Chains A and B, each alone.
Chain A
């Protein structure tokens, strides 16, 4: 199926460049010029991917991106399980993001845990006209009364809040005082801020700094007796249990995980983290800010890692172990050895079914690069990738550690571009989100959602890799893809209606 297999790198590069030029023709001139900067063919001699990123999406093109609220409520804060996160503004934002991200947790929902609930101020016209601060204060009182075991509240601002001049900081401060210093966090993540989810991550990180860390008594005793092996997992949202299948490896190598940010996380864990000896950072994009802050403020080093696929997992375990003594280094080797038979069995089973298959990705956060190693462990090749809301440092990491010469790179891809690229390149698998899934499946191209793991997972860690491998096999080798064409119809290339 794949075109790439039969072509040399030079041919691939020429074909991809041609493809970019062809796609750009559809745009009005000004838009074409702007989009041209986001599309490129990777050149292995370069230290980044040669695309512009983290700039405004162009109106009307069908960007896949979301907003700052999605980055704060949906990503960073939402999974903190013992706090109540108010979607502050009209009802929709909280409704569409309600329990959609599969941040697994343990707790009694509605009593001491609140992740899969939708708390909203459900703004009405009068709240827009007269302001919503009084309503917000009352909401906090009602939360205290009806959900007495909550350990804190965050205010996740939706668009109108910043536009009507509400002072959510003052309300939060007043109510925090009234409730004996209760943690109440105003978050200025209005959806119109910034260009994507990304600014929402940053704003949410800063809110943790300002309203969790800075409120801590520096002399307070730790909740636990610190050890030399205390680490915190940063930037794992426990989608389908990812953080759990990661944590178990760190603990098996002799480390002690004192906090999870933020999947299955709690306020106490956020507060624990300044006592950690090392922060291990999975999703660099969404939590590098707080990691840098903790390094500066508390002297905690941080270390990026990648728990997708056995090659990267082993590399990461050794990298993390290098921060500790021989005890932990031996532990890392022990863990790698322990899981080697499982990995060998998984690869022996699935690699023959997946060898040489090509993949195109378009995802957010860390995944456009982080999952490449896992595909390669299965003998698959990523021939195109791009970030929904990456920055230049993401593309640098991608270029330097992950992608091959000639890979097609597309930043903030538009619906039109993505369809065209896939139609032309005909990969064996596309990995992207729910909005893209059915587009490509209609075209007869196998697809996996790489945000929600298509309701599967975990994909992190050794246990997760077995599921990942099984899922990719299931997607690509499902009999259904052989049935897309009615047998009595002529064989013809799939076509894109919109382009014609």
Chain B
């Protein structure tokens, strides 16, 4: 017996003892009808080959370990960015349990969201009654200022009409006549979570600017000097939006965030549970029509929202998750240009410190090869940064990246001598990535938590940047935007590089001559 009250063994160690090892070996031998170990080894090796990769890339129907989620997740993300707003997802209830869990595992925070809990009868008769009852209950129980409705695939397949259903719910008295219920159809079988973010935000913009689904007159735009800012679906939303607010503040720009999740996903532990915290007010959201311009930090998260805003007469600017010095410069200079404000010396100094850090450290990154996967904008921003560091983003993969993104990535590669051997993989998954890491090895992999399986199988060290990050804590609190954010990304990459160098040079009397104290 290995277990001990004074030194309690966790699962890490408990099962490594001889009793358990013997037990597990017997279980396998006697009862599991195991494959011949030689055969397992043969297939394991075969799965590393170019031949396997060719078969793997021939896949037309099967998806294995994708790096994307479905639309309503993004809709929930967008909705919680508004003041005292509850996301209401019309359809099966299990979906909502999944979104809430998913966000809570990443942010280590509660996520409030309700479902209309449709079941078999709703599948037959439609979910109107679920909407009527659901809105009434949510309104009565949680006293939200706004309920933002989106849909699961169930409601989409049976063709429920949100506009009509919400209208009927008002007539039935579920919610007051003038109560704000923006909505968006977010079918899970189209696009990904970033599409859902886009659709939900577009739904909110449309609702407030274009007459609240018939409840109010369409707003007339009276241009002012404000600038709207859209962050997009972003696992670093807490740190990033705070950093963006700081930058706007430094520059003296009057701004509106179209969705601000930075407080609701970062509430204090002080004895009080805040179901709602922070967020863009409905008044600010409506008044945002008057802004002179809107900036989207992630082009592929706002493919529909941004053109809609442009149609309303604003200038719009889209970025691709800027991290590099160059991309951040462009972002800051765009802010200055639109606002007519000068860039404060303090920001120039932050920039200088970021460049200083790169100058100090880039020797350790220069020439290293990286594989990157994640959402299209994040991939772009990271690749752009690596090129700036003299590294090669050899393999860049986005399961939810399309043709336009592919072209844009290629153009980025073509713009740098370090991009010469780099390849872009739109629409591929992490099982494709696994083959690529075997056949075209890189020094480091950048991706979300699921990249740890690739790290295990291929030995490529993983730098965790992306969404979701479940197995490391608090990363979302640190920005990856702005010069400070870029510095954070630089440090995270460097930490892994140095850890790897140390890990590879610490065998006493064998490799530890390189176990340097100064690097």
Contact = CB atoms under 8 A, between A and B. Distances in A.
A70 B100 CA distance: 14
A192 B137 contact: no
Contact of B269 (A91, A195, A442): A442
B98 A485 contact: no
B362 to A, nearest CB: 36
Contact of B23 (A111, A193, A248): A248
A458 B138 contact: no
A37 interface: no
A117 B9 CA distance: 28
Contacts of A151: 33
A345 B56 CA distance: 54
A33 interface: no
Interface string A318-356: 000000000000000000001100100110110000000
A56 B140 contact: no
A257 B24 CA distance: 11
Given A272-B31, A342-B5, A61 B137 contact: yes
Given A159-B157, A269-B31, A466 B5 contact: yes
A349 B5 contact: yes
A54 interface: no
Contacts, number: 364
Contact of A444 (B9, B52, B271, B431): B271
A163 B123 contact: yes
Contacts of A240: 11
A106 B24 contact: yes
A121 to B, nearest CB: 7
Given A64-B97, A108-B44, A160 B14 contact: no
Interface size class of A (residues with CB under 8 A): 35 or more
A159 to B, nearest CB: 4
Given A58-B133, A192-B154, A82 B98 contact: no
Contacts of B154: 159-160, 163, 191-192
A138 B3 contact: no
Contacts of A91: 63, 66, 68-70, 188, 192
Given A118-B65, A416-B142, A467-B8, A146 B56 contact: yes
A34 to B, nearest CB: 10
A100 interface: yes
A160 B33 contact: no
A60 B10 CA distance: 40
Contacts of B457: 109-110
A247 B69 contact: no
A480 B4 CA distance: 26
Given A92-B188, A159-B154, A67 B27 contact: no
Contacts of B137: 27-28, 31, 58-61
A14 interface: no
Given A117-B65, A160-B157, A104 B11 contact: yes
A480 B141 CA distance: 31
A434 B102 CA distance: 9
Nearest to A440: B273
A484 interface: yes
Contact of A443 (B11, B40, B136, B271): B271
Given A61-B137, A118-B65, A247 B23 contact: yes
Interface stretch (B108-116, B350-358, B407-415): B108-116
B110 A193 contact: no
Interface stretch (B87-95, B339-347, B369-377, B492-500): B87-95
B326 interface: no
A310 to B, nearest CB: 12
A498 B142 contact: yes
Interface residues of B, number: 111
B55 A56 contact: no
B216 to A, nearest CB: 24
Interface stretch (A123-131, A296-304, A374-382): A123-131
A251 interface: yes
Interface in B129-154: 130-131, 133-138, 140-143, 152-154
Given A58-B133, A435-B104, A470-B8, A164 B157 contact: yes
Contacts of B269: 441-442, 444, 480, 484
A145 B55 contact: yes
B135 A191 contact: no
B88 A60 contact: yes
A224 B30 CA distance: 7
B43 A437 contact: no
A95 interface: yes
A56 B134 CA distance: 13
A125 B187 contact: yes
B33 to A, nearest CB: 4
B142 A109 contact: no
A116 to B, nearest CB: 7
A241 B23 contact: no
Interface string B16-36: 000110011001101111110
A419 B273 CA distance: 9
Contacts of B66: 91, 95, 118, 120, 122
A279 to B, nearest CB: 15
B133 A124 contact: no
A463 B274 contact: no
Interface string B180-192: 0000000111101
A467 B95 contact: no
Contact of A195 (B20, B113, B119, B138): B119
A440 to B, nearest CB: 8
Given A224-B30, A339-B1, A96 B64 contact: no
Contacts of A444: 269-271
Interface stretch (A5-13, A284-292, A489-497): A489-497
Contact of B110 (A118, A125, A435): A435
B3 A111 contact: no
Given A59-B137, A90-B153, A93-B98, A346 B5 contact: yes
A438 interface: yes
Contact of A60 (B30, B64, B135): B135
A90 B157 CA distance: 12
A258 B31 CA distance: 6
Interface of A: 26-28, 30-31, 56-70, 82, 89-93, 95-100, 104, 106, 108-112, 116-125, 127-128, 135-136, 138-139, 142-143, 145-146, 148-149, 151, 158-160, 162-164, 191-195, 197, 223-224, 240-241, 244-245, 247-248, 251, 257-260, 264, 266-269, 272, 338-339, 342, 345-346, 348-349, 414-416, 419, 433-444, 456-458, 462-463, 466-467, 470, 480, 484-486, 492, 494-498, 500
Given A125-B189, A248-B20, 19 more contacts: A60-B134, A60-B136, A61-B138, A62-B112, A70-B97, A89-B189, A109-B457, A111-B40, A128-B189, A146-B52, A146-B62, A151-B33, A195-B119, A267-B33, A419-B273, A440-B273, A442-B267, A466-B4, A498-B143
The 3 closest A-B pairs by CB, nearest first: A67-B94, A92-B70, A59-B134
22 contacts: A27-B140, A58-B117, A65-B94, A66-B93, A89-B188, A91-B70, A93-B98, A106-B24, A108-B40, A109-B453, A111-B43, A142-B62, A146-B64, A191-B95, A248-B19, A248-B20, A259-B31, A345-B4, A345-B5, A439-B273, A442-B270, A467-B11
